[in-house]
Structure 1
């Protein structure tokens, strides 16, 4: 699985969250056609995805998933919101850098586990998923 930066993950999930499908993301990035994307989020650095596509298997990143190189706690909460539409204190609990009670289906849980950098550990428990810092 390819590793990408948190900002690259934000760019991909921003596009998906605005209804742009994987094929369109791949097509436009490979063609360096960013106008439509800049209309979605003007200040987002979609050029980073163009550079990424030159040095990595961009199709696999978009279609099969990715691992974030280093994921901060706020970055983790933001990705959960962007990718799964789940919000802290509404859809899961936050306590001292631990996320608990996050309800995800099996595919979503696998996607989240794949995304996590080495500084996070995921466990599935009754009552939802828990993500906590690696000791």
Structure 2
């Protein structure tokens, strides 16, 4: 049994993995020390497991396409005085085997055994399929 847990999150408005990387380089999407972060309202209850090697798997256009290691969780206070969680991420995006996911709110836990594998070195150099084709292939179980 694995001793870590992953998260899965929709990347709303993102066109592809490269677009996600560009967005994460914007100052408002980074911590003061320059790392990408995703701010969320809920603090993960399984924090210790998440920080023990977990990643966030990004769903782009209905398909899991990549992941990033979770480095730490920072407390962020909103202008409204509400405590939020900044999920601080490793800047490296690891492309994964694609897996179809229906829309959902917020983030969810994702067990390691249910997480798509990283692409092999030879597959990383392949041109990615268009999002619509990836989603269609994943829906019929080809990807």
Please, what TM-score do these two structures have when normalized by structure 1? 0.29
Structure (1 or 2) with the greater helix fraction: 1
Please, what TM-score do these two structures have when normalized by structure 2? 0.28
